[in-house]
């Protein structure tokens, strides 16, 4: 009975993705299934629409910047929280890193809008990077914490007994051991940043439209299978990144 329920839930979650992938190859301008023949018409339409290409490049640059900054900060935070469990306030700091996951995205977006407005950074690339770093950091911290807990502290003690300074131990001992988890944290942060839309809408104007925001705005003006083709590409990108995450640390490690 449980197997039937699990199979039903899996089918329920995958069915929309299959429909989107199928629809992206329709030759018609209407969302009609089934169709007689497959066509790459709407994939060609993506590259003919400069807005989608520009938004993809912006999302790529934004996700790379946000993921790099978030991973660097998260590594230091995760190391401090993992090795410094005894200091007072560690629990509060740990909870602070979870707050972007707890606070509703709309509320967080409004708060960030007021914050960047006060700094004079609204509708700038810097404001996007700042908002995305805050949004993706909890995911990177959790990934790195799970890995750093497995690093024996005796290895660090041995390095310090041999004369290594704490920064040298962190850079030359801990980081290489946790390199796979660090790469996984970067990929996860990249994926979350690339697909983020709710907070981004509050941060951007016409000058900076990421790909998810571009899709949202496109759908408010017209509806055609071009969006299905863009979504199919994003699904493929997500699957590749999830596969890499599984190869690096295993998806089960992300739940710890």
pTM of the predicted model, to two decimals? 0.84
Task: Determine the average pLDDT of the residues in 196-221.
Answer: 86
Tokens of 230: 């863009």
What is the C-alpha separation between 233 and 255, in angstroms, rounded? 27
Return all residues near 171 (Cβ < 8 A) that are at least 6 apart.
Answer: none
Q: What band does 66 get if pLDDT is binned at 50, 70 and 90?
A: very high
- Does residue 228 carry a pLDDT above 80? yes
What is the C-alpha separation between 67 and 139, in angstroms, rounded? 10
Predicted pLDDT of residue 255:
53
Task: Determine the average pLDDT of the residues in 214-229.
Answer: 85
**Three-state helix/strand/coil letters over the chain:** CHHHHHHHHHHHHHHHHHHHHHHCCCCCCCCCCCCCCCCCHHHHHHHHCHHHHHHHHHHHHHHHHHHHHHHHHHHHHHHHHHHCCCCCCHHHHHHHHHHHHHCCHHHHHHHHHHHHHHHCCCCCHHHHHHHHHHHHHHHHHHHHHHHHCCCCHHHHHHHHHCCCCHHHHHHHHHHHHCHHHHHHHHHHHHHHHHHCCHHHHHHCCCCCCCHHHHHHHHHHHCCCCHHHHHHHHHHHHHHHHHHHHHHHCCHHHHHC
Tokens of 120: 């004079």
pLDDT digits (tens, 9 = 90+) for 75-89: 988 888 887 655 666
Q: Are 170 and 79 in contact (CB under 8 A)?
A: yes
Predicted pLDDT of residue 47:
84
Q: What band does 251 get if pLDDT is binned at 50, 70 and 90?
A: low
Domains and CATH numbers, the chain: 50-255 (1.10.3720.10)
Return all residues near 67 (Cβ < 8 A) that are at least 6 apart.
Answer: 136, 140, 186, 187, 189, 190, 193
Percent of the chain with pLDDT over 90: 19
More confident residue, 50 or 201: 201
What is the C-alpha separation between 161 and 163, in angstroms, rounded? 5
- Does residue 90 carry a pLDDT above 70? no
CA 84 to chain centre: 27
Query: Where is mean pLDDT largest: 74-88, 112-126, 145-159?
Result: 112-126
Query: Where is mean pLDDT largest: 15-29, 76-90, 237-251?
Result: 15-29
- Does residue 132 carry a pLDDT above 90? yes
pLDDT digits (tens, 9 = 90+) for 171-198: 888 888 888 889 889 988 998 999 899 8
- Does residue 17 carry a pLDDT above 80? yes
């Amino acid at each position: 009975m449980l197997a039937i329920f699990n199979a039903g839930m899996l089918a329920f979650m995958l069915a929309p993705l299959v429909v989107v992938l199928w629809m992206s190859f329709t030759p018609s301008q209407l969302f009609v299934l089934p169709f007689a023949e497959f066509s790459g018409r709407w994939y060609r339409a993506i590259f003919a629409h400069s807005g989608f290409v520009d938004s993809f490049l912006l999302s790529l640059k934004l996700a790379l910047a946000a993921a790099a900054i978030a991973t660097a900060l998260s590594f230091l935070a995760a190391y401090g929280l993992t090795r410094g469990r005894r200091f007072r306030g560690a629990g509060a700091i740990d909870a602070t890193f979870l707050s972007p996951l707890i606070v509703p995205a709309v509320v967080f977006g409004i708060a960030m809008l007021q914050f960047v407005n006060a700094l004079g950074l609204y509708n700038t690339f810097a404001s996007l990077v700042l908002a995305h770093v805050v949004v993706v950091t909890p995911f990177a911290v959790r990934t790195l914490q799970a890995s750093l807990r497995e690093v024996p502290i005796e290895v660090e003690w041995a390095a310090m007994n041999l004369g290594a300074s704490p920064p040298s131990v962190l850079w030359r001992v801990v980081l290489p051991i946790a390199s796979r988890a660090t790469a996984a944290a970067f990929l996860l942060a990249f994926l979350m940043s690339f697909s983020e839309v709710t907070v981004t809408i509050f941060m951007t104007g016409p000058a900076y439209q990421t790909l998810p925001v571009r899709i949202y705005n496109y759908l408010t003006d017209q509806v055609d299978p071009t969006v299905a083709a863009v979504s199919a590409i994003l699904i493929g990108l997500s699957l590749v990144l999830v596969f890499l995450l599984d190869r690096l640390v295993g998806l089960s490690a992300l739940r710890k």
